Structures are given as C-alpha cells and as structure tokens.
A and B are shown apart, each in its own frame.
Chain A
C-alpha cells in the first residue's frame, strides 16, 4: 500500500526538482540513457519490456542479473527518492545503504553532473512500469556479502564529479566527460586488476572479456587509433564501419544500442579526446620465424585473400583491411583468433545495413595453421605484432567451445 502511494511518479519527483512537464529534461535523460547504454544491461533482449531487468551480466566472478529500473514501486525503482537514485549512480550505494556491485558502472557514473543524473531519472519515470521481480544477487560467497564492496570501494573507487581540464577545449572536455563518465568506455577497454578494478595507469589499453579483446583505444599508431582520423572514428561509432574497419563482437551491441544513436557532435568530441592520448610507447614485438611466415602466407592465399585481397587491404564497406589494422596488431590476439576460429558478423546499422560476416575457419584449419596465418597477418604489409603460438590458439579454441554466444 505504501509502495503504491509513493510509487506514482508525480509523488516521487516534485520534492527533488524533477519536473514531469519538462520536455527538455526528459529528452536529455533519454539521450543520456543511450550514451550510458543502460538498456544493454537493464533491458532483456526480446522481452519487449524496456528497462525491466533480468539480463544476465557476465563478470569474471560470476553472473549477476540486472535489476528492474522501471517505475514499478514494488520491483522497480518507483519508490526510490531522487537522492537514493543519485546515490546509486554516483556512489554505488543502493536503497537502504546496500552496496551495488561495480558491474553497475558507478565508478564511471560518479563523474556525471547531478543535473544529468536527475534528467536520467526524469526519463525513467516516463517508462511504463513493469512488475518484474529480479533477484540480482547470484554471486558466490564471500562476494555474496554486499558489504564486502565497501572494502573494494575503499581500495579502488574515487567518487566525485568530472572536473574539466584547464587548457583543453570545450570539445575535448565534452569528449573526456563522455568517455570517463556516461560512456564508461574503460569498463571494457581498460585492463583490470585481480579484483576486477580498472588499472587506472593503463586506462583504455585493452582488456579480454567474454571471448573478445576490447582493443586499445589510445592513440597509439600501431595498436591504437593512431591510423584513424577523427572522422574515421565518428564513422565507425555511427555506422559500425569506416574506410578500413568494421565493428563486431561485443562492440556490435554497443554500436546498435548506443553510439549509432549518439549525436555527431558528441562522437566527434569522443574522437578528439581519444586521439589526444597516445598511451605509453609500445615495445617492439619479437619477430616471427621465416617458416611460420611461409606457412601463414600459403594459408592466407588459400583461405583469406579471396575477400581480404592479396594486398591485405580488403574492400571498403565489406571486408576490413588487415593492412595497418590495429585490430589485428593488438598485443592480445584473442579477437583475431575468435574471428578466425568462429567467424564474426559485423554490425548492421541503418546507415550501413549490409552486415557482412566472416565465416568460421576453426573447422578447416588446425591450431598450427591458425597460428601461422594469424602470425602472418600480424606481420605483413607493414604490420608488426607478436607471433601467436599453436598453444595459444588451442587455449582460445577450448575457451570458445565453452561459450554459447
């Protein structure tokens, strides 16, 4: 009864400056839920119920179910005060003082301005309330004790809003805000320590998750974004494709739900910010041996050149260029092996609906052949990256067998 009364959006919002009549605030909130890619976790695909939760979130420590954030008072957040909502997003503290797990990117959302957080709340208030009780906690002991997160927070969490860098342009600062805050890019792209916290001194240098390697997105010329212009980055984030590359793997969903629906200005700001930091100087990788390169060249000619062409340049809009590609030169070859062994489908967007795919070669190439061709691709046409061993291929192959996605 109490929940039902408090749960009406109007009752909950007036006290804290959220105005259900305010189109601008609601619209801004809607846009921020796109930038924050909230639906990726909080909407169960195919359920038809936006933000009603229930999607399983894979973490190295176990799976969590994303909660219902519709205005339903019993099972959603309809009964929450705005202060409770602000605390959840910016401090990782849920209702009644319980700690959230950092699978919810509060370590990033803490950078959000209070106005932006309230705008998100204003928008979520307009979503149809869905009664859907989600039991979020699925982690094993001792992580099942949420208070353990207070220790984690003390070690790894620096709360506090974004502070604009002096001496940088407004555009750069907007990009920094988006990347470090709502966009939470480092959630996938930054290396993590053994407790799953970002290694802040290695930010955006790439991280393995869910069978893929989220690549280095610093401006490093070989393994980062150095070869792409600002506009290449914008085209990639907008359409899933640019003149040399195509998005696949986990980035596909981020593209569909989030970046392809962001404004060109914001994408440009992100590009300018990312291209301003080249990360540390990368050590020269060890050279591959001649025999591996010879075998790799043969496998490439037989299996790859038909699409990616003999020059490795591919075909714009269809087959990504391997020549000069940072994706194939990543220090960690997991994504490249994933694509070769299991195939990969690029992202379909309204601007680029073709969504060409790479077929799987795991059934036709053994570990030695895959190792050779991948090493060849990583060290041809000016590319330079560490050789990949047959053992590493075997390990990735076994890991992929376990994955149903």
Chain B
C-alpha cells in the first residue's frame, strides 16, 4: 500500500552536487523542496574524521563510501552479441552514495571543456570533412555553447573556491595559465596549489619541449576561502587522500563544504536519506510528472507528489529511472532510433611510469593532493591538427601524482618479483624516485552507435526492477588517440631524466575491472533534436516538461577533461532557466 504525502513544489532525486545546487537555487526562488537520497546522511564532522580519514584499506580497497553492489549493481558486456553479467565488485568506476554523492569522493579536478567541445560534430565536420569521422561515431553538438555556459562555470568555481591560474581572461591570454581554454570572465577565486618536485620537473621538461604547462585547476584549496554563500573552506594539507576518501580538513570542495550547510538552514528544505526513488510518476497523458515514488529504509513505499521533478542521481541511475518510468523512447542500436540509453561514454585513460635514479631524485610522492599537478593542453580536443593522425579527440597530459598511498602507489620496474624480499627491496629503491601518475593522459571517449545502456533482460534489483545493462567497448579511434597521447607523455618523462620509462597506453577490450575514473557519461543526452536527445539545451525532458535531468548523463560525448566542472556549470545553467523562464510559465522551454 503506497502512502501518499503532502505535495511539494519540487522533488529532487539524489543529493550530490547537482541535487544540492538545484535545491539551493529553487529554495532561493521560494519553492518548497524535498531531496530524496538513496544513501545515508554524511557530514565532515561526523563521518570524515581526521583521526581515521586516511585509512586506505577501509576507503580505497573496501569501498567504504560507495554504493554496495548488493543494493544495486549493473550488468556489463563489450558487444551486443554477448551476454551481460552483473558487476559484483566495482572496478572500472566507483558509484557514489549518500549525501554529497560522488562529490564526496572525487579528486576535485575542476576543468572547463573547450569551446569546440560543445559544437563537436559541426566543428570537426567543418574542419576535416564529414568523411573524417568513423561511420558509427554518433557524436553531437550539445545545443549549448561555451559562451552561454561561461557565467555558470564561474558560478561553480566560485562556489568551490577553485585554485588555479587563468589562461584566458576575456580573450587576453595569460602567462602561466592554459592558453587553450575558453575566455573566462575573471581569474580563479584562489591561486594555484603549491607543486611538488615531480610536478615542477615535469613543467620544466614540458617547457623545454615547447609546450605551455600550467597548474591543474583544483578543488583542493591552496588557501582558506569563504564562498558567496558564506561557507568557509580550509587550506589543503597535501595529505594525498582525496579520491575515494572524504576530506577531514574542510579543504576539498564538496557539497558538504560549500552548499549543504546553507540549504540545511532553510525552512523550505527537507532531505530524506536512506530513501530510494523507484519511479517518476506520470499523469494519464504520460506527458507530465506528478511526483515520485520511493521506498524508505523500513521498506515502506511512499508517493511524493511534486509540481517539478529534478533527476539528480548518478549517470547510470538517471538513465535507469527514465527507462523504468517509461519516459522517452528506449534507444535501439539496430535502428539508431530512440533517445534513452544512447551515446554512453566513459574516459580513455593511460599513463607511463617513470623510474629515476634514486640517488639524484626524491619526489616525496606522499606530499600530494587529488587535483595537484602540472598539465599541458596542446593535445586536447581539437587544439592540434588531426588531419594526418587517423583519429579525432585527445586529452590533457599532466604529471598529476595525486597520492603516495602505501598500498596502491607501489610501482616497481618490470621484471621485479611480485612479492618477497626482492619486491620489498625494489619498492624501497623506487618509492621516492618514481613518477607514478595513474591518470597522466586524460583522453576523450567519443560516442558510438554500439555503445549504449538498456535494461537487462535477466538480472533484477531487490525491488524486482531490471538492472542497467552496459554495452561498451573501445573503438580504434580512442585506442590510437591513447597510444599517441601516451607517447607524448613518455617523451616528457624522458626529458625529465627518467632512466626507464614504461608506457601503459589504454588497450582494448574495455575491462570493467580496471579503474578508469568514475566519469560515466551520456545515456540521457542533451541536444537540439528531440529525435536524438533526451533533454533540450536547458536539460528539460523533451517528453515530460516538468522533469529536468542533471549531470553527466546529458553529455553527448565525453571530452578529454574531468567532467565535474561542466556538470556544475550545466546545473547552474539549468537552474537559471528554471528560475527565469520555467517557473513563470511551466511548460516546454524549447519548441521542437
């Protein structure tokens, strides 16, 4: 028996970055808002304690902060002719859980996408001709431009206090910043982080090779900062426990350290944790959402009526809820028709290890942070000529050694035994003098007709709902791009003085057990054509206008950057459209 609750103005599904931002903006418009979150409440004061936050076994290896696969999992296969099987231990990506969502455990690398990333198909077609793109590549323009998003990138960076050096202020290129970035309206709110020896040496070598290195934009703050909402973040202590961990020092930008303390004080806000939304309810026309149904921790099912529904879950679960609620048309890879599940993408990560002479180099890798590092952007997006390369796309390259953690960060030269006294000796010899950057080449992942999400025909969750099925593999375009980026990175390592460089370019097939960032994208993409996108340029559902879908599920393809900056910018952009247009006249904001 479903129990019906009193109506709310807006129901938000998921209280991570986008849920928190949308909640804050809608509360500011005077709406009565409820956020319904599947996971537990989490707070720095009670959950990320300085006395045990740096427990690598608990958080990194045992996945303390993540969704438990026994609660919800996904099934995986490379190709449509294979049978997908359920993932029982997270591997290729981590699925956040609880208040703050993946915003709790990210590294806080806070990038903007390139202006050409938003008009990717038109731009590449114009520059290289339509034939340059593989037939089965389904990349699209976003329907929104960099210039339109710029004020909202700014909103997100000033919310977070992002530490960085501007490369382009209103069209004027700045020394020491990223000369390829789109024009920004003002500098970063805080100066760049301090860089360790390995990062500095990388920048020197890159400069000698003719590149223009710059500090990575970081949500681990270089100095204390009070954001426009009045919330204070601290200075990073460079402990190197960021990704997969909660920050105990209030120095990583997360919903907890930037926005949740403010919305919690609002009398028109309510958060319900340990409550899992099972469907978005529609009226009899199927064209208007009436609210959501959720199940609380006691197993009681509730109907929460709402005038406006904002879908803010993780990418996979946004797509799953749309499919389970019968919103939009499921994507069919045979015909290429349908919107929900198409253009599923991830990231193409690769690296190289650099072993240096231990008597001459001491990198102190344990002095680190999730978004520290020096980068170059010469080989990202379409910053370089692809005409003779046989691939499109690219990524930033950087010495981004995010940690020197004792279990994970223990590279030894090839040929060393995997255990025993020789391994221990090799580890002792190399720990301080190795450049071991897991994410040196942050490659794009463009979209393809046969990479998609749908409902699994066999495996179901505890409510009997079909799991999401991932069909995903690398294509030659991405593998060639990865090999090329890895070579460029290896050249810089050589220039730095490495005695041995071990290249680790990305190899196919896509392996669901190998960590490759948690940047799953697409499946409910934005665009200008309701035939090939799930949401319009304001992230409003084409099919159900009082439903807005946030987050990376709306990316038509993934660029060579970390996605969170763009996720945040899109959330502010969408919220601004809701406030300035939708609330005055609820209905479609774009007429197809």
Interface positions of A (Cβ within 8 A of B): 303, 306-307, 315-319, 343, 345, 348, 350-357, 359-361, 364
Contact B50 A353 (CB under 8 A): no
Alpha-carbon gap, A290 to B233, bound state (A): 36
Complex contacts, A316 vs chain B, CB 8 Å: 224
Interchain CB contact under 8 A, B265 and A353: yes
Known: A307-B234, A317-B232. A353 touches B51 (CB 8 A): no
Contact status A350-B265, CB under 8 Å: yes
Tell me, rounded to whole Å, the shortest Cβ–Cβ distance linking A191 to chain B.
32
A352/B230 in contact, CB under 8 A: yes
- Whether B232 pairs with A359 at a CB distance below 8 angstroms is no
* A360 cross-chain contacts in B, Cβ below 8 A: 49
- B261 and A353 form a contact (CB under 8 A): yes
SS of A interface (majority): loop
Report how many residues on chain B are interfacial, defined by Cβ distance under 8 Å.
Answer: 24
How far in angstroms is the closest Cβ of chain A from B233?
8
Residues of A within 8 A of B262 (CB): 353
- Find chain B residues with CB under 8 A from A364 CB: 51
Q: Which of B39-55 contact A (CB under 8 A)?
A: 44-46, 49-51
| Cβ contacts A to B, 13 pairs, < 8 Å | A306-B239, A306-B248, A306-B249, A315-B224, A316-B224, A352-B232, A353-B230, A354-B232, A354-B250, A356-B232, A357-B45, A357-B46, A359-B248
Q: Which residues of the partner chain A approach B49 to less than 8 Å between Cβ atoms?
A: 359-360
Which residues of the partner chain B approach A319 to less than 8 Å between Cβ atoms?
A: 234
Contact with A along B46-68 (1 / 0, CB 8 A): 10011100000000000000000
Cβ–Cβ < 8 Å partners of A306 in chain B: 50, 237, 239, 248-249
What CA separation (Å) do A303 and B234 show in the bound complex?
A: 17
Contact: A307 with B50, CB < 8 Å?
yes
Say whether B200 faces chain A, with CB atoms less than 8 Å apart: no
Which residues from B are CB-within-8-Å of A315?
224, 234-235
For the complex, is B226 an interface residue (Cβ under 8 Å from A)? yes
Check A318–B224 contact: CB distance below 8 A. Answer: yes
Considering the chains assembled together, what is the distance between the CA atoms of A359 and B265 in angstroms? Answer: 22
Is B137 engaged at the interface, CB distance under 8 Å to the other chain?
A: no
> B427 in the interface, Cβ–Cβ < 8 Å?
no
**Chain B 403-426 interface 0/1 with A at a Cβ cutoff of 8 Å (1 = within):** 000000000000000000000000
Quick check: is B295 within 8 A (CB to CB) of the other chain?
no
In the complex, the answer to whether A318 meets B232 with C-beta atoms within 8 Å is yes
A403 to B186, CA, bound (A): 51
Which chain B residues (129-181) contact chain A, with CB distance < 8 Å? none
Q: Which residue of A lies closest to B261 (CB)?
A: A353
B231 interfacial by beta-carbon distance below 8 Å: yes
CA–CA, A351 and B262, complex, Å:
10
Q: Which of B45, B51, B235 contacts A356 (CB 8 A)?
A: B45
| Min C-beta distance of A135 to chain B, whole Å | 32
Picked from A303, A351, A356, the residue with its CB within 8 Å of the CB of B44 is A356
| Supplied contacts A307-B249, A360-B49, 14 more A-B pairs, CB within 8 Å | A306-B50, A306-B237, A318-B250, A319-B234, A348-B261, A350-B265, A353-B262, A353-B265, A354-B231, A356-B232, A356-B250, A357-B45, A359-B45, A364-B51
Whether B297 is near chain A, meaning CB under 8 Å from some CB there, is no
